[in-house]
Structure 1
Amino acid sequence: MNYQNTLAFAQEQDRQDPLYYFRDRFYFPQVNGQDAIYFCGNSLGLQPKSAQMYIDNEMYKWANLAVEGHFKGEEPWFNYHELLAAGAARVVGAKESEVVVMNQLTVNLHLMLVSFYRPQGKRFKIITEGGAFPSDQYALETQTKFHGYNPDEAIIELFPKEGEHTLRTEDILQSIKEHGDELALVMMGGINYYTGQVFDMEAITKAGHEAGAFVGFDLAHAAGNVLLKLHDWDVDFAVWCTYKYLNSGPGGTSGVFVHERFGNDTDLPRFAGWWGHDAGERFKMQKGFKPMPGAAGWQLSNSQILPMAVHRASLQLFDEAGGMEVLRAKSEKLTGYLEYLINDVPVGKDVLEMITPQDPQARGSQISLLVKQNSRLLFDKLMEAGIIVDYREPNVIRIAPTPLYNSFEEVYRFSEILHECLEGVK
């Protein structure tokens, strides 16, 4: 695409954008009495205006039906989670039976590790990305300790080459091959939260399986952001949150993918709970766990109705927008425009360095800037000017234009304000 650094170009792109009016379906925070330019969907997505209606429906049932809301009225709570499965499956490229919405992300990660981290003999090691999001680090660390291993010996962290900011796919695959006979699990983020790098999940899964290991992904920054084909890629398991690109509220519910190869495997170890038991026999209150088929058999407790209601509102918007292919197409253009405009800002790499891959296929809706001078001051000035972005220690500003509610004009305005703020922090 031939970008131009003009307001007229940005406004013309918005006029041609079939998704432009979806921004009217969200609430924007106010800064200085005006809508903020909100480029922080990789941390917390905006609130869909329809979320209140979905919550109100469940509050009405609670007020008028109380406990009977589990079984009476439209959409009883007993099987409310089933209303989310098809939409969630479309987002991550799965079969409906392979997906369940439940709990929160790190809880679900631990549940998956119970089933898919099964060290035996010399095959006890885990490959993961170096500097993964802390929850993933802590989960892997404590799981290896739980099995009696030293995390420093059991966890192999992969870091970029000296002078580089992102991992090379060939290095990931080579490490899997090198450690193959010791490898129990490959567990990585689908997207690195810090750099915005999208990992080649298909190639990593294939290599992990060839080495005899299970393969899983934390899709916190990937679900609702990039095209995923978990079933076709033969991924064993995945987990994700819903409060980032999936716009489902702070502390929102989480999603789980379990490939259909394991959906009815009753011999696979798991931690069981009431809601994962056969629904037809659940209220017999008897001993002897009999799992629901598919991913639903990993449920523990009854559904979180209010967070799920918000998630349902958001999933409806994804379907109305035409699904992930449509959203991803705009995302690549929007993020590409952001990259073009940042590169047009007249500063050198001694001030700003983009650490996100330039290849559109290797990044999501995010550009991470390494700010080498007065990084916190620059961030503060952007926020004061009505640009809501994200700061990560020690000196990275993450900018995430989101296709459902951000515009090309906002990207253009951001570049103008970035230039002004850079002048003010020299």
Structure 2
Amino acid sequence: MTSFEPTPDFAAQLDAQDPLREFRHQFHIPPGPDGQDSVYMCGNSLGVQPRTARAAVERQFTNWEQLAVEGHFLGDTPWMNFHERLTDATARIVGARPVEVVVMNNLTTNLHLLLVSFYRPTIARYKVLMEGGAFPSDQYALETQVRMHGLSPDDAIVELVPRPGEHTLRTEDILAKIEELGGTLATVIMGGINYYTGQVYDMAAITAAGHAVGAKVGFDLAHAAGNIPLQLHDWDVDFACWCTYKYLNSGPGGVAGAFVHERFADQPELLRLAGWWGHDEKVRFKMQKGFRPMRGAAGWQLSNSAILTMAVHEAALAVHEAAGGMAALRRKSEQLTAYLEFLITRLNLPKTQLEIITPTDPAQRGCQLSLLVHHNGRDLFEHLAAAGIIGDWREPNVIRLAPVPLYNSFRDVQRVGVVLAEWAESN
């Protein structure tokens, strides 16, 4: 473990040693109140814009302008198969085989599509397990999926909550609840990382436990994809979905991704909501009755690709790949987050004033620390904003700060420490 110091010189030294330091210049960093670069620590909500994004979209505008409908089949990036250009990089990010992933739609749409296939309740096996306080989109999706089967959410949905006085879930409690539900459990669907606390769940252990009782297991990876190393195939996860506009920097409301394990690749009989683009591409344009899905995750596609958003995503993926992928990013991420933790804990504030509710174990967190501010939390958030530090406020009293390895520096983190120290001295 690095022995940290709170000084600008020390942060500059870490930056000089950082092999990823130049990647910051491949992004537009929003200006702060003084006109200089802000300290942008809100990548867990929306990533910053890659400098190559505009040209990537302009390229497709030119194709549209010059080819119109023929752009589906002609030009340098035919739209007909554009989603395939994203497959290999996507598979590497989530630890999958290419047949297991597809880029399409947005996150909640993909979650609904996957739940149609992987939440198939019976009279005996109908319960679904999720973490309490999951992001509202997941809560609402599960509520409506349960109701579509004529069930009551109050009965069918089981929520996991931390032990009294704790902020995060213990893995042993998750596994114990899965075993307790046993043959009544149809599906486990959890976030790979809890958006509020920043806790990383043990997805391998949860998947194994779910399968042991006969349940399907899936994850919402909105806060995990591009943030932590994932091995969805090796963990034997059944299904997963994620957005790309957070740690993958693919633009507001950008296209999303989906994973379906290879063991389902050749099960055309598996119930799903069918769409034209998910139909066998060899006969797609014959316009015949009888849905015959593409092999693998591509068989869950509905409509033709959203080319402009996919173009941005392709540009963002290229930066991610050039940085060396998740292994290189994770090394820097752990150090950045540890440095931020050091600067906060050295303030020696009582837990009745401020506490970090994200796990201290690096294996149980990504590049996010959630600060629970018990008094005047909004004042602290506004103090940070006035100093050019862009974080995220979550009701009722949590500030989320995410030092992202692609574009945040150690000097950024050190600046946050200075502003927090100023606040602590005045409170």
Q: Compute the TM-score of the two structures, normalised by the length of structure 2.
A: 0.99
Instruction: Name the structure 2 match of 1:53.
Output: 55
- Which digits, 9 at most, give the CA deviation of each residue in 1:74-133, with x for residues without a partner? 120000000001111110000011000000000000000000000012100001000000
Q: Deviations over 1:26-76 (max 9, x none)?
A: 001112211100000000000000011111110000000011100011120
CA–CA distance in structure 1, aligned partners of residues 328 and 265 of structure 2: 30
| SS of residue paired to 2:9 | helix
**CA contact 2:6–2:417 (8 Å) conserved in 1:** no
For residues 95-244 of structure 1, the aligned pairs below 5 Å read 95-244=97-246
Gap regions ≥5 residues in structure 1: none
What is the aligned partner in structure 2 of residue 383 from structure 1? 385
Whichever residue aligns with residue 62 of structure 2, its letter is Y
2:86–2:103 CA contact under 8 A, matched in 1: yes
Aligned to 2:66: 64
Give, as a single letter, the amino acid of the residue that structure 1 aligns with 2:94.
V
Superposed, 1:271-282 pairs within 5 Å as 271-282=273-284
Q: Is the CA contact (8 Å cut-off) linking 2:255 and 2:309 kept in structure 1?
A: yes
Rounded Cα–Cα distance in structure 2 between residues aligned with 1:90 and 1:316: 12
Which residue does 1:30 correspond to in 2?
31
**Which segment is superposed worse, 339-348 or 246-255?**
339-348
The runs of 4+ residues in structure 1 deviating greater than 6 Å are none
Aligned to 1:2: 3
Name the CA distance, whole Å, in 1 between partners of 2:106 and 2:405. Answer: 25
Amino acid at match of 2:351: K
The SS at the match of 1:127 is: strand
- The one-letter amino acid paired with 1:271 is L
Q: Which runs of 5+ in 2 are unaligned?
A: none
**Aligned residue identity for 1:116:** F
* Superimposed CA distance per residue, residues 245-269 of structure 1 (whole angstroms, 9 cap, x where no aligned partner): 0100000000000000001201110
| Residues in 2 aligned to 1:328 and 1:91: alpha-carbon distance in whole angstroms | 12
Aligned to 2:413: 411
Match of 1:356 in 2: 358
Q: Is 1:20 matched with 2:32?
A: no
Distance 2:177 2:162 in 1: 12
SS in 2 for 1:373: coil
Q: Distance in 2 between matches of 1:281 and 1:422?
A: 66
Q: For residues 205 and 119 of structure 2, what CA distance do their matches in structure 1 show?
A: 20
8 Å Cα contact 1:378/1:422 also seen in 2: no
Question: C-alpha offsets along residues 201-229 of structure 1, whole Å, 9 cap, x if unaligned?
Answer: 00000000001000000000000000000
Equivalents in 2 of 1:347, 1:123: separation in Å? 48
Residue 305 of structure 1: how far off its partner (Å): 0.3
**Aligned equivalents of 1:281 and 1:342: distance in 2?**
59
* 1:93 counterpart residue number: 95
Which of 303, 306, 326 lines up with 1:304 in the alignment? 306
Q: 61, 74, 77: which one pairs with 2:76? A: 74
- Kindly provide the amino acid, as one letter, of the partner of residue 97 in structure 2: K
Counterpart contact for 2:240–2:259, Cα < 8 Å:
yes
Distance in 2, matches of 1:422 and 1:252, equals 38
* Alignment partner, residue 342 of structure 2: 340
TM-score (norm 1): 0.99
Q: Is the 8 A contact 2:28 2:51 kept in 1?
A: yes
Cα pair 1:215 1:236 within 8 Å, conserved: yes
AA partner of residue 57 (structure 1): R
Cα shift at 1:423: 3.6
Q: Tell me the distance in 1 between the aligned counterparts of 2:425 and 2:107.
A: 41
Mapped to 2, the partners of 1:8 and 1:73 lie a distance apart of 51
Which secondary structure state, in structure 2, belongs to the residue aligned with residue 118 of structure 1?
A: coil
SS in structure 2 at match of 1:216: strand
Contact 1:241 1:254 in 2 (8 A): yes
Farther-moved stretch of structure 1 (205-214 vs 259-268): 259-268
Q: Is the 8 A contact 2:347 2:424 kept in 1?
A: no
Which deviates more from structure 2 when the two are superposed, residues 23-32 or residues 167-176? 23-32
Instruction: Read off the aligned partner of 1:180 and give its amino acid letter.
Output: G
Shift of the alpha carbon at 1:4? 1.6
